[in-house]
Structure 1
């Protein structure tokens, strides 16, 4: 049965009861359809039309979907993966990595010797409808070499780097220059590529020399992006595509020519398309390096912010969800914490003069200095009491007060940073120090929570933009406009608390 196209993004497979996103190349669960469309910047009217169309279709839950038989051809819109099938009778398990099939043969069939593994397993071409915890591989025959969009099917070994006289478990290279100089890239057949794409090389060079230092940097890992992440990207094609996309977007930001900026943005979209198509496959594979997985999640957050803020691809602000912006900024720090240990921002233990008071106008967002901001912040609880009166929910009040206290501490700490990467990291860390309930209040457009978010945006986030956090350029203005629009319709008292910050 031929698939049914729904708009340019989706296709419906009636035979299996699934809807496939052709850009992401996997099926979307019923409960995630609307949020998935929003992720692709499909806003209100069009999104509601698509959701209405999809509601009339028979869509099955992942566990209910019947898998195609091994003799079936590949499902259009899904990547074809190189994997393995166990040939033991009544087994037939499918795995997408060599490590997993070896483990299976050893644990389930007693084949302890790796050399014996492939006596009971054979190569197979695999697909899966869903990602995440719902992955269920099925075998296909006669796979096509290219998808309809012209994108090569995913192969986790397609981009790999080898170092002479060293195995794959070696320690990270001391510099990215060493990595690049000794890297040999291979195509799917294993043959060395004799020609180098000079545009790709230029983007790689720009990332390692210019873009890397502008990204969030954990204080305990020097040259985090240029060394630690690059060394992983040279072994993970999808991660490399993400870094190249960030580099292209940075060049678009730096370009003063709209045509050149658009060219870089188009190239960034191509790289990011490859990154997003294989991102979930990477994060779901337990055999992949945990640091590489978390770097990919952080790249995801940076790309989302950069695509939102670039002037050649403006946001449709009227339809955008504020909580999504907050979640992406928060994700920048969470991935560093998971990957490399808890991030610790040093407290400023000396006097304001020796730490730097940032008294030059404009260096602390809407405030003349960090001291002026902290003085206003300390007055905020009493001003809120006057504006809002007796609270309806004591728990919400505690959440807001804890968030104000966390913001005050963040301002005390952030003054010790003086480069873009560290300022970016410290700015985003406030969102990891507030109670989790604070994000819920923002999602509900709770007026007191929006007031606190306004203070953070007009101070720390604006300062981060001034310090060169380019992928946030204009984001403070976007957030403030969204907050102003919400407060104007919900709470005049709250608007009065932040009116001077929204200008």
Structure 2
């Protein structure tokens, strides 16, 4: 039960949360700080011992053990109510007391800082139990007379009524889950996707969305991408799993509709379908095995509306057995200086010649050397790019520059030399992952795939270990 202590009853024990709240200081006192807190209020000797004796009978929770309210509730007695903000991104709901911290949250957690979507946060009333540098807030109902720290309304925020729960109405049939995913796509995900063509602007925000409102299968495609994006953003494994399941369901609806679509002569719609499939595949391949040929085809065909093969339901194949170079604790470094990486690429032909010898077929030798030269030429683009569009185009550029013979040796013949060069490309792909959320983990998985293909080739595997080991980091 709740109780009060001290002269003037300035200490209040909240039995629900197992906290001792100082009504004068307006925060909960940590268990190991009760004695010093009483001294701060100039309570000495006899009275202090009496209070400490009474308080010792109470069950006080440590800060990390306090069960914060998970839903909006009435304010806790003795704690000030302050104005703050709640993130409106689907599956998030993070709470902050300042606009600056909310903006920082969108930069760190949602990958957006400069171009925040409309309605990215809503104004709410907050409380916190403790004071300190790592504050945790919970949302409470509005009590105007208690509210402190009234902030000015900021652009991009929505008012409290906009954040209220929808009331049920049996006369309406609204799928709120699909609406939430669609809202997340329009407000957030659409701003993070590349077009692949430099002269197109607002492609995902206007062109694709307007078509999706009339094409059910295309809408399912956008919902699938939105769900995958939320899975990447979430730090909770249960929430991630839910979003991935929804993404898979929506993807099936997209594939079924697109395969049976009669819009084959509409190159704009066909191009949208190709791009949606490409993003979906990348999302799928960051958590499953990656078919080498399909990966190359997907990146190459992102802007090609005639890539009819993109309409097939590509099921990932099993990944070959790999050695221990890549483990669950390794990832590709992204902090390698450009000069060091260029030097690595320049030395690659000599190291390959030492391990593998010179290819016996001149055309094969030229294809491999040309691909390495393209790596050197494309490298600066990855270091200069700082947005999803230019990074994606830099990825495409290398695949466009390699010869058809190189692609055939890589995807069909699985020639060891081409696999080794392809592995070096992953050092650049890893840099693209920083701004392209749908590629996160892709480079490491592709490198794992290459190692698996080379598992029986000792010389090639040895070269991979030597040339790539320095570029891996433990996570």
Q: Please say if 1:432 is aligned against 2:400.
A: yes
Partner of 2:442 in structure 1?
A: 475
Partner of 2:270: 293
Q: Give, in whole Å, the separation in 1 of the partners of 2:467 and 2:264.
A: 50
> Are residue 490 (structure 1) and residue 469 (structure 2) matched?
no
- Show the counterpart of 1:216: 194
Q: Is 1:307 the equivalent of 2:278?
A: no
- Is the aligned partner of 1:253 residue 2:253? no
Query: CA offsets, 1:311-336, max 9 Å, x none?
Result: xxxx2x4xx53222232233334459
- Give the whole-Å Cα distance in 2 for the aligned partners of 1:233 and 1:330: 24
Q: 1:279 to 1:433 in 2, by over 3 A?
A: farther
Larger Rg: 2
Cα displacement string for residues 473-502 of structure 1 (whole angstroms, at most 9, x for unaligned residues): 211111111212222312414632553415
Given the superposition, is the C-alpha separation of residues 497 and 473 from structure 1 closer, same or farther in structure 2, using an over 3 Å criterion?
closer
Deviation at 1:245, TM superposition (A): 0.5
Q: 2:175 aligns with which of 193, 197, 211?
A: 197
TM-score, L = length of structure 1 = 0.51
Counterpart position of 1:281? 260
State how 1:270-419 maps to structure 2 within 5 Å.
Answer: 270-282=249-261, 285-287=263-265, 289-310=266-287, 315=288, 317=289, 321-335=291-305, 365=333, 368-419=336-387
Q: For residues 371 and 266 of structure 1, what CA distance do their matches in structure 2 show?
A: 43
Q: Does 1:226 align with 2:226?
A: no
**Runs of 5+ in structure 2 lacking a partner?**
1-116, 119-170, 309-329
Say which SS state the counterpart of residue 260 (structure 2) adopts: helix
User: Could you say which residue in structure 1 is the equivalent of 2:422?
Assistant: 453
Offset of 1:412 from its aligned partner? 2.6
Gaps of 5+ in 1: 1-175, 178-192, 339-361
1:78-89 equivalent positions in 2, closer than 5 A: none
The equivalent of 2:149 in structure 1 is none
TM-score (ref. length: structure 2): 0.54
Runs of 4+ in 1 over 6 A off after TM superposition: none
Cα distance, 1:267–1:363 mapped onto 2, change above 3 Å: closer
Query: Would the alpha carbon gap of residues 449 and 334 (structure 1) be closer, same or farther in structure 2, given more than 3 Å must change?
Result: farther
Partner Cα separation in structure 1 for residue 307 and residue 246 of structure 2? 31
Which whole-Å CA distance do the structure 2 matches of 1:328 and 1:498 have between them?
28
Query: What root-mean-square deviation, in Å, do the aligned CA atoms of Structure 1 and Structure 2 show?
Result: 2.9
Instruction: Report the CA distance between 1:337 and its aligned residue.
Output: 11
Q: Is the 8 A contact 1:364 1:460 kept in 2?
A: no
Pair 1:366–1:286, CA change in 2 (3 A): closer
Asked if the contact 1:448/1:494 (under 8 Å) is kept, the reply is no
- Contact between 2:224 and 2:246, CA under 8 Å: does it hold in 1? yes
Q: Residue 332 of structure 1 aligns to a residue in which SS?
A: coil
The number of equivalent residue pairs is 279
Deviations 1:69-113 (A, max 9, x none): xxxxxxxxxxxxxxxxxxxxxxxxxxxxxxxxxxxxxxxxxxxxx
